[in-house]
Structure 1
Amino acid sequence: MMNKEIAIVVALDEKNAIGKNGNLLCHLPNDLKHFKRITENYTVVMGRKTFESLPKGALPNRKNIVLTSGKAEDFPGCMVCRTPEKIRMATIDDEKIFIIGGAHLYRTALPCVNRLYITRIHHTFGDADTFFPDIDWTNWKQLDAEKHPSDEKHAYDYSFETYELNPAG
């Protein structure tokens, strides 16, 4: 278990907002490419609302797991788990597991996570209604930060940030 990467992937604004009205805060094409690059060929775990927000359903080239109490047939292309323990059992041999939302799942998974992939949107969305849980940043070491300016396809400046849980954290 110690060699397994369990990561959260999330896009946050400057106030840790992650969504509004069940959707992402904004459309950043490079964030979607970044997300695909780091999660492809691995396991992604999501809650019901996150699954329902996906425009084409289950993400291709990934093992999709939905944590829900809903019916299994409501999530085509996905494994359905009813408890975090069932997810642990279903991913025992998986090298990397990415928690991709939503807010409730982030809160539940955070104590088990050893890596964070954050897209920091350098803007505050005043109408946001969903937020990432508070983190004690003293437990995390930043491994990488890649800044990008706004352009014709990206309305806001943003950064890709990677953090690792401190061994003593």
Structure 2
Amino acid sequence: MSETPPHKIPQSVLVVIYTPQLNVLLMERAKQPGFWQSVTGSKDTPDEDWRATAIREVAEETGIQVGSAAVPHQALTDWALENIYEIYPVWRYRYAPGVTHNIERVFGLCVPEGTPITLAPAEHTQYLWRPWQAAADQCFSPSNAEAILQLPRRLNAGCA
């Protein structure tokens, strides 16, 4: 007898990982070839803190350890931006019945050039670093592309 996995929580993070030179990390989704994105992932529990979710998802999807000597905690910035979007119908089965929208909290993570990446093979097949404008053009998600396009303004304002 197989257990039904718990429903996904319709609250997720989007973490734009970038270098000081504004090269942005993109990863190709394993189950959707050609779909490139930044780190994304849902809360594990409703009371999980947004920042904790971001740190966990970054580690799971890229192997980057926020809080390490190379990537200190202050490298992760909460942009205090939340997107609400409709969940694609093809993915709604993962959520409780009647759930149609997700809240996505946006973060930025500045990492040193050459930071090693270890992908979670069940989630992503390959990664690449792209200049911010090219990365925005390559994303399949409109909210991901918009977050990347905000990167230079956020840096200039001192809050990336």
TM-score of the superposed pair, with normalisation by structure 2:
0.31
Query: TM-score w.r.t. structure 1 length?
Result: 0.30
